[in-house]
Amino acid sequence: MKTCVIRAWDMTKPLLFCPAMNTVMWEHPITAEQIERLKGFGYTEIPCVVKRLVCGDEGRGAMAEVWTIVEKVKMTFSERDLPTQS
């Protein structure tokens, strides 16, 4: 489903993505390939973080904190002189 959204995306607009998965999935080589491919299209990764995951494991794969995502979105809009609302 996400790939359908990305294929339909207007590439003149910024796209930020926040990967989130368990550590085993994160460490799989396919994940690195997919992330590099998205970045190759000019999309911006907001990296995952290390913490306790939904599955109960502790490790890399948790989605970035909301405040981190919000700040990155605001910065991206500012850099591109896109309109924002308070």
Q: What residues are labeled active site?
A: 55
> What distance separates the 2 farthest-apart alpha carbons in the chain?
41
Q: Within 10 A of 83 (CB to CB), how many other CB atoms are there?
A: 5
In the chain, at which residue ranges do the beta strands (DSSP E only) sit?
16-17, 44-45, 49-52, 58-62
| Paired residues of 50 in beta bridges | 60
